[in-house]
Chains A and B, each alone.
Chain A
Amino acid sequence: MPHHTFVKFIWPSALAMLVFIALPIISITIQSFYIEHEQVLVTAENCGPFGCKKVTTVDVEATRALSEQKPLGKFNGFGTYTNRNHLAFSQIGEAWNAAPNLGYFISEVLNLPFYKALSFTLTYTFVVTPCVIILGFCIALCVNRLPSIFKGPTIFLSLLPMIITPLIGSLVLFWMIDAEGIIGSFLKIIFDDPNLSLKASPSLTWIMLIVYGIWHHAPFAFVVFYAGLQTVPKDTLESAMIDGASRWEQTRYVVVPYLMPLVVFVSLIQLMDNFRVFEPIVGFNAQASATSLSWLIYNDFRSGDGAMLFGSAAATSILTIIGISILLTPIIVRTWQSSKPAVR
């Protein structure tokens, strides 16, 4: 296809991606170097019958004029990146100097908002991704053994957790697991602790979110592996059987290696999706014990007094993008190397 025809076909799609995906990345890079204007304060002398008082008030007009004139705010360099809410270099330094032992230092660092969010995001990503792959693979193996009339309904039910809106899915589970919900009250009876509440315990909250993540993503891995199982060459399996391979050995040495490219694909998609974990934290109302990088950005726009912290959100966004690039580079390089010959 000649270049000009190619351009004619692709420009609407390319333009959409440039304007709404590439430009915003530039936009957050710029925004992250700016910080909101401070409010313009005026000091006025207020004289009454009991003498004069100096009163400092916010000059709303002047503040608004300033932010209209320079909506980006004022230049802050890397100030936002290094402040307490982001990389918090000085706080880490202080904690390092003050810490009697490593455990104390780590707990101090994990109390800083960015590191708290990062630790949950990474834990979630690296627990959910392998669990999803293993669970999905097991379900696929079991469904593959079913008689074909049962396959359809089984796949239908299995797809439900995946296609459900993440916020709605987490709410549905939350209402059951909540202290007043069915599972929550059962747990109270089992552990014989009337005050047991998943919300109040950070570690239970983490487990709950991770269970939700596995529940939500396992069907995706299941469907991909199930489709892959249909294409496993029958004669390879049969020759393995003739050679005396047990059922387990057939799975281990024939099926798993054959599905390896699909495992890479599923992990790539899962790493992308799990690193952006966000809706379950809103749905489970879990921000007291678990926050994620995406949630931090959301929170910067939802902070109490209606002011939106563009600079702070942008800096977290940049750090998030750096994080996801570090995470995905090995897999993308691998995909690129293996798919090279496929492209003319």
Chain B
Amino acid sequence: MNKASPNWLNFLSISFLALWLLLASVPFLWTFWGSFKVQADFFSKQDWQYAIFGIRTIVETGANFTSDGYNGAWIQEGFWKAALNTAFVTLSVVTISLTLGTLGGYALARSGFRYAFWILIAALIFRAMPHITLVSGYLLPFFELGLWGHLSTTIIVLVAINQPFTLWMLHSFFLSIPRDLDESAMVDGCTRFEAFKHVIIPVMWPGVITTGLFSFLLAYNDFAITALLLTEENQTMVPKIASFLGSTQEQGNVMFAVAAVVSATAPLFVLVMFFQRQIVSGLTAGAIKG
């Protein structure tokens, strides 16, 4: 703590931060804890302490914790299939959009012509398009061409929607790699592709990993596109949770949705835990160049 600052300022700053951290983390802890209880505890109408001590859970199941919600969601309602679909979609989206993005971003960073700037401005405008307006452009052509409902169509759409952001980030990353590096390789007789392959690829991984994280988040978190472009059996996790809401509220199975929500949050937690530094540096890179 800054020694020169007065006590009241320290106190104010610490309590403000503590309040924010509570707001940021308690909802997740609450839902995680509650997902192992029964509905009467999770939504404890009579007494909020039920949610913490699980009084009804002990009465209904005889134990302190129950995995009924998880059983119901993963096995009974087939959430495992949605999880597999999500894994497939996000992995493909990250791989393809990084491949296209590194090539494009490298070209934009090294071009030196004015049109590269205009492509970046166009990408910025494309970034502003609300995703669902684009979806309303896809639906009719996709129905007509028989492309609707497949995972592969969704993957390509997500890759395309990811491109503006990926291009911007990798462009600013490649600008930070000295030009001399690949140009000296070209003086030694490499073509541009060879220089890219032998000189740039070995040093580009920090930027690629950071960009990949954000591609992952976009693909993983998307609801507008996956909800409207996928058939029911191809649904990924997020639209599946949305469809749980409709069906389970009537049957009193809200706990299935709660369990599914906690399951879908877990990978994101792990991601932040391992890649916190990259996420922070990625947002910064975008800010300083953007």
A interface list, Cβ under 8 A from B: 1, 3, 5-6, 8-10, 12-14, 16-17, 19-28, 31, 71-72, 135, 138-139, 141-143, 145-147, 152, 154-161, 163-168, 171-173, 175-176, 178, 180-182, 185-186, 215, 219-220, 223-224, 226-228, 247, 262, 265-266, 268-269, 272, 275-276, 278-279, 282, 285, 293-294, 297-298, 300-301, 308, 310, 313-314, 316-318, 320-321, 324-325, 328, 332, 335-336, 343-344
Contacts and interface: CB of A to CB of B under 8 A. Distances in A.
B44 interface: yes
B283 A224 contact: yes
Q: Closest 7 CB pairs between A and B?
A: A24-B137, A20-B160, A13-B104, A9-B107, A276-B130, A227-B284, A317-B133
B69 to A, nearest CB: 13
B259 interface: no
A160 B44 CA distance: 25
Contact of B160 (A16, A26, A313, A321): A16
Interface stretch (B57-65, B77-85, B119-127, B202-210): B119-127
A262 B30 CA distance: 34
A221 B154 CA distance: 30
B9 interface: yes
Contacts of A325: 128
A328 B185 CA distance: 42
B24 A167 contact: no
Interface string B273-290: 100100111011011101
A155 B16 CA distance: 15
B223 A308 contact: no
Interface of B: 1-2, 5, 9-10, 13-14, 16-17, 20-21, 23-25, 27-28, 30-31, 34, 42-45, 48, 51, 99-101, 103-104, 106-108, 110-114, 116-117, 119, 121-141, 143-144, 156-157, 159-161, 163-164, 166-167, 192-193, 196, 217, 220-221, 223-224, 227-228, 238, 241-242, 245, 257-258, 261, 264-265, 268-269, 271-273, 276, 279-281, 283-284, 286-288, 290
21 contacts: A1-B112, A1-B192, A9-B104, A10-B108, A13-B101, A13-B104, A27-B140, A152-B276, A159-B279, A160-B24, A164-B265, A167-B238, A215-B23, A226-B280, A227-B281, A247-B5, A282-B242, A285-B245, A301-B136, A320-B130, A321-B130
Contacts of B160: 16-17, 19-21
Contacts of B138: 20, 24, 27
A178 B42 CA distance: 11
A182 B44 contact: yes
A145 B1 contact: yes
B126 to A, nearest CB: 5
Given A17-B163, A157-B21, A282-B223, A310 B139 contact: yes
A168 B223 CA distance: 10
Given A156-B276, A167-B223, A294-B224, A336 B20 contact: no
Contacts of A275: 130
B228 A21 contact: no
A311 to B, nearest CB: 10
Nearest to B43: A180
For the residues of B in contact with A, the DSSP-based class is helix
Contact of B136 (A28, A147, A181): A28
A182 B52 CA distance: 11
Given A21-B129, A265-B290, A141 B20 contact: no
Contact of A297 (B34, B136, B161, B192): B136
A5, A175, A247 interface centre (most CB from chain B within 10 Å): A175
B201 to A, nearest CB: 13
B103 A12 contact: yes
Say what secondary structure dominates the interface of chain A: helix
A298 B228 contact: yes
A344 B112 contact: yes
B224 A175 contact: no
Q: Which of A12, A20, A178 has most B Cβ within 10 Å? A: A20
A268 B99 CA distance: 27
Contacts of B31: 172, 175-176
Given A31-B137, A157-B24, A343 B114 contact: yes
A142 B112 CA distance: 41
Nearest to B191: A5
A106 to B, nearest CB: 26
A227 B287 contact: yes
Contacts of A313: 136
Contacts of A3: 113
Contacts of A19: 160
B21 A278 contact: no
B39 to A, nearest CB: 9
A158 B42 CA distance: 25
Contacts of B112: 1, 344
B130 A163 contact: no
Given A156-B276, A215-B23, A71 B140 contact: yes
A268 B165 CA distance: 14
Given A1-B110, A227-B287, A154 B21 contact: yes
A171 B132 contact: no
Contacts of A298: 132, 224, 227-228
B194 to A, nearest CB: 12
Contact of A163 (B106, B217, B238, B287): B217
Nearest to A178: B43
A10 B101 CA distance: 8
A142 B15 CA distance: 10
B104 A12 contact: yes
A294 B228 CA distance: 13
